[in-house]
Structure 1
Amino acid sequence: MLKSLFNWKVLLNLVIAIGVFVGLVWLTFRWLEYHTNHGQEIPVPNVINKSVHDAIKILDDTGLEYEVDSANYDPKYRPFQVLQIYPSPGSRVKDGRTVRLRVNPRTWAQIAVPDVINKYSGLAFQRLDQVGLKIGDTIYEPSIQKDALLRILYKGNAVNPGTRLPRFSVIDVVVGSGPMRNISIPNVVGLSVKEARAVITKSMFEVGLVEYEDGGKDESDIIYYQDPAAGDVRDQGMQIDLWASKRTPAELRAKVEQLNSIYRMKVDTSLPPVRYEEVHTEPVYEAPVAPPVPKKETPKAEPAKTEVTTSKPVAGTEKAKVSSSSQPAGSTTKPAASSNTGGQQTTQKPKAKKVVVE
């Protein structure tokens, strides 16, 4: 066995196989060096602060590939200015290597307009500011949706929700100022339903019930009755009911009279007009009644005991009393003069009674 293994023919075949393998490996590496330009490197040119068009031209001349990546817009730099390059300038790369450029875009990135139509203006303004849209003019327009955002305008044109605009764009908004009052209702009798809808909408009213005589919904039918009547005044946004038919209003006179009896209020003009007078009466204020004061009970005084003492009358006085009592009524007598007074008339008054109250 060993003897056959060391046969010169076997050894020759083994040496040939090893040589073929080594030759294939050497040829493979040589092909790779040639295909990948092994050992041949190119320095990355410095294209920072150049425009993206000039940077691309320089990279093409040096044999390098490129990718352009837009960064967030920075107003401090020019639009399409190269802000950064990777690998960094001066690095040595192989021919055909891809270089990435970071470029300042032309303007801010675009954002979608949020759906804030018919929303309260305060919340709508807050939402627009959050996405980066700036509000310019606020235009007020009569509408039944008071303080609601009706439209968004960009450069004078209305934009729908979802439209993409550059960030920080200035937009104008239309806000409802409330309904208009006392608007005259237009006359749509004789018009088609389609024409009547356009006239009612233009007059800032809404179409209410539309009753078709034949039960269909043909927009070409003629309006022969409307409620409220033409010329009445209503507030903006009120509904106008319509009655339509394929026949003309002259042919439906009986129907019109029937509807008048239902929807038109008759006013009796034979009665005198009622006058309303405002009577202003001044209020009468009564003086407040004082509460009754309770009476204080005073104790009853005991009857006083009196002691009467009489003194003896003078002799002359007693005589005068006796003489006056003996004379008839109507006669007068003069008292006698006392001898002690020399003939002068004197009258002695009785002494006062002494009253002692215990």
Structure 2
Amino acid sequence: MLKSLFNWKVLLNLVVAIGVFVGLVWLTFRWLEYHTNHGQEIPVPNIVNKSVQEAIKILDDSGLDYEVDSAAYNPKYRPFQVLKVFPSPGSRVKNGRTIILKVNPRTWARVEVPDVINKYSGLAFQRLEQVGLKVGDTIFEPSIQKDAVLRILFNGTAVKPKTKLPRFSVVDVVIGSGPLRNITIPNVVGLTVKEARAVIARSMFEVGLVEHEDGSKDESDIIYYQDPAAGDVRDQGMQMDLWASKRTPAELRAKIEELNSIYRMKVDTGLPPIQYQEMPAYQEQTNDVPPPPAATSKKENSTAPAETQKANAQKPAGKTTTSSVNEQSKPKTQTSNTSVNNTTNKPAGTTQKTAEKQKAKKIVVE
């Protein structure tokens, strides 16, 4: 067996096989060098801070491919300015290598307008700020939806929800300020249903029940009756019921009278008008107790003779007359007589009661 291995024919075949293998390996590496341009590397040019158009032209001239990727917008740099390059400038790469460019976009990324229509204004403002939109002017408009967002305006034009706007754009918000009061009801009798809807909408009312005489829903039917009546005063957003027919209101007078008996309240003018009288203002009672008349009269009677005596004492004796003395003495004697008679006729118990009553009445309030 060993003799067979060292046979010259076997050794020759082995050498040939090794030579073929080495030749194939060498040819493979040579082909790879030729195909991959081994040893032929190109430095990445410095295109940072250049515009994207200039950077693309330089890469094309260098035989390098490129891929543009927009980064987050930075207002410190110019729009479409190259911010970063990968691989970094100065690196050596093969011919045809793809270079990635990070470019500053023209403006902020666009965001969608959130659906905040008919939502509370406080919640709507918070939602707009969360997506990156700024609220500018707040415009109030009469509406039955008080404090609700009615429209969103961008540059004076209403935008719908999910419309894309640049980030940090300023939008104006229209908010309802509540319904208007005491609006005159328009007259839509004689108009078509379509025309009546437009008039009612302009007057800030709502269309309620629309009853067609023939049961159809033809918008060309003529309005022959409305409720509330034209000229009445209602608040904004109230509903107006309409009755329509293909006939004119003059041909439906009987039907109109029937509806008047139902929807129009008759006022009896034969009753007298109601008269209103003003009540006097309430006056607080004072606690001041006036002095009793008996005590004051007795006090005056007791002081009167003393004053007359002083006056008589000051006058000379010759000028005093009998008439004045008699006039002054009469009331004194009468009062004394009456008091004596009263005291003599009444028993002792009654005199004590009267004395107590007189003492109780002698109240002097200063």
Q: If the TM-score is normalised by the length of the shorter chain, which range does it land in?
A: 0.7 to 0.9
Quick one: which amino acid aligns to residue 24 of structure 1?
Answer: L
1:172 counterpart SS class:
strand
Determine which structure has more spread, i.e. the larger CA radius of gyration: 1
Q: Which residue of 2 aligns with 1:263?
A: 263
Q: Which residue of 2 aligns with 1:118?
A: 118
Deviations 1:11-39 (A, max 9, x none): 44443333333322222221111111111
Q: Which residue of 1 aligns with 2:234?
A: 234
- Name the structure with the higher helix share: 2
Provide the rounded CA distance (Å) in 2 between the counterparts of 1:222 and 1:12. 116
2:106 counterpart SS class:
coil
Quick one: which amino acid aligns to residue 23 of structure 1?
Answer: G
Alignment partner of 1:199 is 2:207: no
Alignment partner of 1:157 is 2:162: no
Q: Which residue of 2 aligns with 1:209?
A: 209
Q: Which residue of 2 aligns with 1:146?
A: 146
1:100 counterpart SS class:
strand
1:72 counterpart SS class:
coil
Quick one: which amino acid aligns to residue 177 of structure 1?
Answer: S
Shift of 1:262: 0.3
Deviations 1:229-280 (A, max 9, x none): 11212111111011122333222221111111000111233444x1442413
Shift of 1:149: 1.4
Q: Which residue of 1 aligns with 2:276?
A: 277
Q: Which residue of 2 aligns with 1:342?
A: none
Pair 1:288–1:125, CA change in 2 (3 A): farther
1:16 counterpart SS class:
helix
Quick one: which amino acid aligns to residue 50 of structure 1?
Answer: K
Provide the rounded CA distance (Å) in 1 between the counterparts of 2:277 and 2:160. 56
Provide the rounded CA distance (Å) in 2 between the counterparts of 1:252 and 1:7. 132
Q: Which residue of 2 aligns with 1:56?
A: 56
TM-score, length-scaled by structure 1? 0.75
Pair 1:16–1:190, CA change in 2 (3 A): farther
2:18 counterpart SS class:
helix
Q: Which residue of 2 aligns with 1:171?
A: 171
Deviations 1:191-224 (A, max 9, x none): 2222221211111100111122233322232222
Quick one: which amino acid aligns to residue 193 of structure 2?
Answer: V
Equivalence map 1:291-306=2 (5 Å) = none
2:243 counterpart SS class:
strand
Provide the rounded CA distance (Å) in 2 between the counterparts of 1:123 and 1:234. 31
Q: Which residue of 1 aligns with 2:185?
A: 185
Provide the rounded CA distance (Å) in 2 between the counterparts of 1:84 and 1:276. 91
Provide the rounded CA distance (Å) in 2 between the counterparts of 1:24 and 1:223. 101
Pair 1:172–1:233, CA change in 2 (3 A): same
Quick one: which amino acid aligns to residue 266 of structure 1?
Answer: K
Quick one: which amino acid aligns to residue 285 of structure 1?
Answer: E
TM-score, length-scaled by structure 2? 0.74
Q: Which residue of 2 aligns with 1:133?
A: 133
Provide the rounded CA distance (Å) in 2 between the counterparts of 1:22 and 1:189. 107
Provide the rounded CA distance (Å) in 1 between the counterparts of 2:27 and 2:178. 88
Unaligned runs of 5+ in 1: 291-358
Alignment partner of 1:23 is 2:23: yes
Provide the rounded CA distance (Å) in 2 between the counterparts of 1:21 and 1:218. 95
